[in-house]
Structure 1
Amino acid sequence: MKRIAMWTLAACIPALAFTGEPATEPGLSVAQIVEKNVVARGGAEAWRKIQTMVWQGHVESANSAVPTLPFALEMKRPNKTRFQITALNQMAVRVFDGTQGWKLRPAHSGKLDLQPYTPEEVKFAQEEQVIDGPLIDHEQKGVAVSLDGVDDVEGRKSYRLNVRLPSGVSHHMWIDAQTFLDIKYDRETRNPKGQPVTVSVFYRNYQSVEGLQIPLLIETGVGATPRTNKLVIEKVALNPPLDDWRFAKPDAPGHSTSVSIGPETPQAARDTHRPGR
């Protein structure tokens, strides 16, 4: 799922309204926390039926002169992804076919520049658990999960899980102790200068899409900087047809560069700017 193509941003926090503050459950094991998270998100069986998913919306970036940037994110199991964003009538695309990745973006000359993923980008894309994330069926995926502790995340008690991927790389994710939905995800990376930094991703404004809980606002920040990027999801399509060529090297001639979610397709949100709690 999300945390999903965390290329630009990724991750979220629940937007459920509570009539009261239900008591959190003390002394839960990591297995119980994971089980409750899977149930809260819609159940493992429902997620296993999703083979493809498309998000459409816009990006609000603190690093862009344009206030909103339209985007489309296409995902296909096991880990194919295509992220397309448009600004000032120019398009940038990132695609990963499960083995290799490419970046197509405008150059200073005005032409499009195509570059392969760096080794670090390939490694990250290969580790990404497209569609359903690392916790659902984590044992079959070779993902080890342990409970590191309990933290306060934006005023909410949250379980801090250590998630170790098959590559041996570990990340932290936080599960809300009341809703049991993902609330935050951290990963270590390097900035353009090669310095280690922590990328924090917050999942917000969960909505039900055909019984699945999907965050419609994903906010990403790096380190202690107050400047963040927001991925605002306006439409969600479950199991739309996505041919493999859409995830191939993006210079293939004669292929459409965008996918449209029509009125017959499941739409997730009518108001993506509603409060995230």
Structure 2
Amino acid sequence: MTTVAEVSPAKDTRARLPIAEVRWSTVLAPLLLGVLALVAWEWLVEGLEVEPYVLPAPSAIWEQMTLNTGNIVDGATVTGRNALIGTVAGAVVGVAGAMLAGTFRFLDQMAAPVVAALAVIPIVALAPVLYSMYGAAADTGRIIVAGLSVTIPVYLNTLRGLRQVRAVHRDLMTAYAAGPVQVIRSVTLPTATPYVFTGLRVASSLAVIAALIAEYFGGPIGGLGKSITSSAASSNYPLAWAYVTGAIVLGLLFYVVTLLVELWFSRHHRSGG
């Protein structure tokens, strides 16, 4: 009598991106907390008669947002465009640099002090210098500042991911006479991808912050940073806070879009597409 061995389905052993399943509780809880915080904020400002220059009421901020929606959107478009270009350019440079450093050890050692120096460059000092170099009428300085803020976290996270590749996997690909491109596509990138997206999620919000801060120190007219300083200088504090709210929404938009791209890539990666 012949027995037939049961064959269990193959398990997917590829690396998976660390994205938790979205539940209603994870969405409703922050929304409820936000509503309660706004109610308490309004009550404290009205009850204690806090002056607008100290802290405007949410109702006053909302009024300015509804009256100046077009200006807020225009400013967010300028800041968002600079942040987006900086994010893409910084991500490309960060990933490419990490790939080179992960492949050649001497480059990794040479780049370490340079990366450490770039990580501590203050935006308040860099932005005016770039405006002097590229001209105050161009957005080049703002884009470079945003790009630098993205390059460092993407580089460090990507390099960390590359170092997670086990030597036995590389040896196995070598035994099968795989070429460098095939090794990168089959082993290196799948392992490092979750770390790349971790760096991008952090860097996407940093790009908005960097582009916003760079606008405080000159450059073309336009952008949320310029609008905030102009409103505060004219003592229109609720309007300044309205522009700050626009900046917060812009930063959240960058983060959410990056997270959605990560989620799409995770599902595409699991399906083997």
Pairwise same-fold verdict (TM > 0.5): no
Return the structure number with greater strand share.
1
Higher Rg: 2
TM norm structure 2: 0.22
TM norm structure 1: 0.22
